[in-house]
Amino acid sequence: MILVYADHDRGVIEPLTFQALTFARDIDPDVHAVLIGGSSAGLNASTAAAELGEYGAQVVHIAGLSDYSDYAPLAAARALVTLLGSTGAQALIAASSPRGNEVLAHVAAITDRPFVADCYSIAIGAPHKIVRARWAGNLHEEVDVDAEAADVLIATVFPHITEATTAPAAGAITEFTAAVSQDDLAVQVINRVGASTGGVTLPEAKVIVSGGRGMGGPDGFGILESIAAALGGTVGCTRVVTSAGWRPHSEQVGQTGTKVAPDLYLACGISGATQHLAGCKNSKTLVAINTDPDATIMNHADYIIVGDVNQVLPMVLQEIQDAKS
């Protein structure tokens, strides 16, 4: 049996979790999911279990923890450790998101087991055979993990290497309790400022119009917003842009931002640093606009436009508007 940590944000399941469930089914069709937090954390148990069951979760374990009202990584890890001791799971898997990696790293530390992040493939055995991403996915590393040290394999799945596919299962709910101390709740989300009020988010966007240093400043992103709106997409950006304060971190695409896999990724004034490419490399179609024909991103793009974004983008927007009229 494979146990999958299903991260949720105030009751909304992280979409990458469905990829992790699909990935887990290829290892063992007997897949269980685990949710941390009850109604106090915004979780509707029956709705969440139905969603997870649609992607193959035979059983959905729910830990209702007192005083757990929002994300608390160590408390979540304590609950997972409790469950591992009673389920006989071969592996504990989560999506390789910032929260998935953080919680499973705590589990590994508490149980003194190895932790393998960013996996492309897993074969349970003696030893466990794993292929994982290194250097933001630019290298694939083959790893043998000692089965005795990792009697339960703890691993996260690299985003977008598996397409989430449905395989309806029972999604039967079981509840369990875990001993969580106040120390385990010392680090938790206690307030949110400037939360998104709607619109398409980066992980779910089919079209992302992304800008880099070449946009010249915050005002340069106005036309990107217009193009994104015309295409029903959203705006992304690079780390340099967020560091300069031009755009919020929530829009950052890359190794330290969000990893995306849209149908179309329009990269405007972006040179193509390794960290950014790690976030957009799974785009189905990548179009790059840059004045430098030798920019790194040009080597990774499906289509390239060599030119000044200030001249090219108004023409792009006009063509989109003409096509829709």
Please give the Cα distance from 106 to 128 (Å, whole number): 21
Among 39-43, 58-62, 135-139, 247-251, name the most confident range: 58-62
Best CA proximity match to 79, nearest among 179, 174, 146? 179
- pLDDT band at 192, cuts 50/70/90? confident
Do 2-185 and 202-324 come out as alike in CATH topology? yes
Q: Quick check: 195 pLDDT over 60?
A: no
Give the mean model confidence (pLDDT) for residues 74-78. Answer: 96
In this prediction, residue 116 carries a pLDDT of 97
pLDDT band at 15 (very low <50, low <70, confident <90, very high): very high
Residue-averaged pLDDT of the chain = 94
Q: Does the pLDDT at position 187 exceed 80? A: yes
Domain 2-185, classified CATH 1.10.10.10, yes or no: no
Residue 141 confidence class, pLDDT cut points 50, 70, 90: very high
Q: What ranges in the chain are assigned the alpha helix state H?
A: 16-27, 45-54, 73-87, 98-111, 222-230, 239-243, 274-280, 309-324
Q: Each residue of 280-324: pLDDT tens digit?
A: 999 999 999 999 999 999 999 999 999 999 999 999 999 999 998
Confidence at residue 196, expressed as pLDDT on a 0 to 100 scale = 52
Confidence of residue 139 (pLDDT cuts 50, 70, 90): confident
Q: What is the mean pLDDT of residues 187-207?
A: 79
Architecture, CATH, for domain 202-324: 3-Layer(aba) Sandwich (3.40)
Residues 6+ apart with CB under 8 A from 277: 136, 254, 296, 297, 300
Whether the per-residue pLDDT at 3 is higher than 90: the answer is: yes
The sign of the dihedral angle between the CA atoms of 314, 316, 320, 323 is: positive
Q: Is residue 113 within 8 Å of residue 154, measured between CB atoms?
A: yes
Give me 68's structure tokens: 């757990």
Helices (H), 66-121: 73-87, 98-111
pTM metric for this prediction: 0.82
Strand stretches in 86-225, DSSP E: 91-95, 115-123, 128-134, 139-145, 153-157, 172-176, 207-211
Strand pairing class (264-268; 207-211): parallel
pLDDT at 197: 54
Partners of 119 in beta bridges: 132, 157
* Band (22; pLDDT cuts 50, 70, 90): very high
Average pLDDT, stretch 1-10? 96
Q: Which residue has the higher pLDDT, 65 or 238?
A: 238
In this prediction, residue 75 has a pLDDT band, given cuts at 50, 70 and 90, of very high
Residues in the chain, overall count = 325
Whole-number pLDDT of residue 38: 80
* pLDDT score at 248: 93
For the chain, give every domain's residue range.
Answer: 2-185, 202-324
Does residue 134 register a pLDDT over 70? yes
Confidence label for 198 from pLDDT (cuts 50, 70 and 90): low
pLDDT value at position 39? Answer: 85
pLDDT at residue number 325: 83
